[in-house]
Amino acid sequence: MRDEGQSTVELDIELRAELAEELSADLAEAAEGVRVGPVPTAAVMAGGRRRRLRRRSVVTALALAVLLPAGGLTVAVATGGEETGSRGGVAAQPAAPGVFTPVTGTVGTVKLPNGTTKKIEVTVYGAPGTATVMFKQLDFARERGDLWSKLPEDMLVPAPSRQPFAHMWFSVAFVEGDKREPLPMGPISLHQTGSLHISPVDRTMGVGIAPRGSSVEVDWRKGQKARPRLVSVPGVDAVKFYIVAIPENVVNLQPIITFHNQEGEAIPTIPQS
């Protein structure tokens, strides 16, 4: 009986070795199906530098403007919104955002009613140009943590009428310590100046882009007015972001936000999305 059992074990080991050899060969053949293109070392190193910068990022200035005096929620906008890294005292020239090389900048901080303070980061991507590249880019952004991973498809892909391939776009994330949390918002085209994009779940704040050369004013209709500071991110200096804290009882901020040109005239804007 022992001999039979021993033979069975030996046979099993032999069979397993043979199977493993066959499987190795089949896996090698399947692996040959991948196309090995040029090695993107520049993109890899750029991505690595961004990760390093994100780790070292600090807010350069805090508490410059309290937007809501009595709302229980305050937004303090940082001066430049730029991230800084230790570079031996030499400031690196910020690059413009590419299709797969986005730029990220801190545009403000938000203090929530529970007392926690979170940084607000905006990440800007270059225009994808084609639908194929756009889908790959959106996947890339989700995997990189720039877009909410649970975003439904209809929120992920902008409507065709907006010509989503033609424009740079941005996403928004909260950052608390090492934790980075993309807000449940879709990608927002940079050409949507004047609109305000409110985080749909917690509605704690909205991010918008001011029309070029304009100032932003929020009229709270109780004699209180505020002028949110305009902030840009490195590499996209021409685009001015603004942040507005959302009080609990306000549903639509569009009627109380106005933009003015340098002469003080009101500028018409496109609808809120």
Partner 1 sequence: MGEKQTLDEEFQQFATARWPRLLRTAYLLTGEQHAAEDLVQSSLERVYVSWRKVSAADDPDAYVRRVMVNAHARKHRKRLKEYLSLNGDTGVDRELPERGDRMAQADDRAALLRALAQLPPRQREAVVLRYWEDLSEAQAAECMGCSVGAVKSNASKGLAKLRAIPVLAGAVGSRGTWG
**Interaction residues for partner 1, span 136-175 (CB under 8 A):** 136, 139-140, 143-144
Query: What's the CA gap between 188 and 191, in Å, rounded?
Result: 9
Among positions 13, 48, 62, 64, the unique one binding partner 1 when judged by CB under 8 A: 48
Query: What's the CA gap between 107 and 121, in Å, rounded?
Result: 6
Question: Does residue 44 belong to the site contacting partner 1 (CB under 8 A)?
Answer: yes
Q: Residue 91's Cα: distance from chain center in Å?
A: 23
The piece of 40-48, 107-115, 116-124, 188-196 that touches partner 1 (CB under 8 A) is: 40-48
Report yes or no: 75 and 244 within 8 Å, Cβ to Cβ.
yes
Question: Does residue 92 belong to the site contacting partner 1 (CB under 8 A)?
Answer: no
What Å distances lie between residue 14 and 5, 17, 26, 249, CA to CA?
14, 5, 19, 73
Among positions 9, 13, 51, 131, the unique one binding partner 1 when judged by CB under 8 A: 51
**Interaction residues for partner 1, span 4-23 (CB under 8 A):** 18-20, 22-23
Residue number, 20 or 96, with CB nearest to partner 1: 20
Q: Residue 82's Cα: distance from chain center in Å?
A: 14
Among positions 32, 154, 263, 265, the unique one binding partner 1 when judged by CB under 8 A: 32
- 3-class SS of residue 37: coil
Question: Does residue 52 belong to the site contacting partner 1 (CB under 8 A)?
Answer: yes
Work out the end-to-end distance of the chain between its first and last CA atoms, rounded to an integer number of angstroms.
Answer: 78
Residue number, 48 or 72, with CB nearest to partner 1: 48
Q: Which helix (H) or strand (E) holds 16?
A: helix 2-31
Among positions 1, 2, 4, 30, the unique one binding partner 1 when judged by CB under 8 A: 30
Among positions 1, 36, 159, 238, the unique one binding partner 1 when judged by CB under 8 A: 36
The piece of 37-45, 71-79, 107-115, 242-250 that touches partner 1 (CB under 8 A) is: 37-45
Residues 6+ apart with CB under 8 A from 91: none
Question: Does residue 219 belong to the site contacting partner 1 (CB under 8 A)?
Answer: no
Residue number, 182 or 228, with CB nearest to partner 1: 182
Residues 6+ apart with CB under 8 A from 48: none
- The 3-class SS string of 125-167 reads ECCCCCHHHHHHHHHHHHHHCCCCCCCCHHHHCCCHHHCCCCC
Question: Does residue 90 belong to the site contacting partner 1 (CB under 8 A)?
Answer: no
The piece of 42-50, 111-119, 164-172, 260-268 that touches partner 1 (CB under 8 A) is: 42-50
Tally of CB atoms within 10 A around 224: 13
Residues forming the site for partner 1 (CB under 8 A): 18-20, 22-37, 39-41, 43-45, 47-49, 51-52, 55, 136, 139-140, 143-144
